[in-house]
Each structure stands twice: as structure tokens, then as C-alpha cells.
């Protein structure tokens, strides 16, 4: 069963690495555009463009930092052992779906099965953390039964 967690870890790792690469590329392009822009006779237009580029750089830096934090989180939960209570790094099988408590990467397909990679800070993640096999909870009008924790 640890094999499935390793596969999910690798899918999440690929997701994060792609986000990091995309953010780094966008950041580099924003910096190049900012450096290439020269002041023209339309002074106010230049200042507005510069400010928009600065905001773009700031947004891309934020996206990059978020992706790097997700990478750190993934590295911290890589070898989480099975536990009797749900925690970061566990795989929680419920009556309404399977959840990998890791990062918010959305729905993943693994061997024909849909598994949701969610953060412990997400609304459903907060409900799952600390639950034991057999516990129930309600989320978005649906009742969940925790069947298994890996």
C-alpha cells in the first residue's frame, strides 16, 4: 500500500515542479520586459506600464514562493508512516472519495482511480485531520465515513 502513496507523492511532486518552472519562466519574462522598457515621451504611460510590470513581477514571485513552500511540505511528508489518525502524508479512504493529505493539487488519476490531493488547511482537510477509521463527518451536505487510513 505504500506504493500507492509513493506514486501519489511523485504525481504531486511533478505538479509542484511544473508550477515552479512556470513561475520562474513568467518571472524571468516579466523582468526582461521591465528591463527592455525605455522611457518614452508619453511619461504617464511609461509610469503606468512600469507599475504594471512591477505588479506582475510581484505576483510571479508570490506564485514561485507558494510553489516552493509546497515542495518543502511534500519533502516533509514523503515517508509518512501509516497511523491510526489522519495526518499530513496519509491517504484517507472515505465513503465519498479518497484523499491524499498533502498539497492542493486537485483530482489526480492513478491506476484508473480518482484521488484528491488536498491540503490539511483546506476545508475538508481540516475535517479529516485527527479522524480515526470509522469516524464520520459532514461536508457540503454529504456524510462521510472514514473507511481506511494509509
pLDDT of residue 79: 84
pLDDT of residue 138: 97
Task: Please tell me the distance from the alpha carbon of residue 77 to that of residue 132, in angstroms, as a whole number.
Answer: 19
Contacts 24+ apart (CB under 8 A), 138-145: 139/96, 142/96, 143/95, 143/96, 144/94, 144/95, 144/96, 145/94, 145/95
pLDDT of residue 81: 84
pLDDT of residue 34: 77
pLDDT of residue 51: 83
Q: State residue 90 phi and psi, 5-degree precision.
A: -85, 160
C-alpha cell at 9: 507523492
What does the pLDDT look like over 106-129, one tens digit per residue?
Answer: 999 999 999 999 999 999 999 999
What stretches in the chain show pLDDT beneath 50? 39-41
Amino acid at each position: 500500500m505504500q506504493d500507492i502513496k509513493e506514486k501519489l507523492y511523485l504525481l504531486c511532486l511533478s505538479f509542484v515542479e511544473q508550477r515552479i518552472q512556470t513561475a520562474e519562466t513568467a518571472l524571468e519574462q516579466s523582468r526582461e520586459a521591465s528591463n527592455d522598457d525605455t522611457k518614452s515621451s508619453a511619461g504617464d504611460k511609461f509610469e503606468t506600464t512600469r507599475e504594471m510590470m512591477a505588479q506582475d513581477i510581484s505576483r510571479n514571485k508570490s506564485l514561485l514562493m507558494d510553489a516552493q513552500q509546497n515542495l518543502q511540505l511534500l519533502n516533509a511528508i514523503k515517508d509518512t508512516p501509516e497511523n491510526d489518525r489522519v495526518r499530513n502524508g496519509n491517504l484517507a479512504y472515505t465513503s465519498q472519495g479518497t484523499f491524499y493529505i498533502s498539497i492542493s493539487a486537485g483530482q489526480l488519476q492513478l491506476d484508473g482511480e480518482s484521488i484528491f490531493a488536498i491540503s490539511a488547511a483546506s476545508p475538508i482537510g481540516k475535517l479529516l485531520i485527527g479522524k480515526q477509521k470509522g469516524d464520520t463527518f459532514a461536508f457540503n451536505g454529504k456524510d462521510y465515513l472514514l473507511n481506511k487510513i494509509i
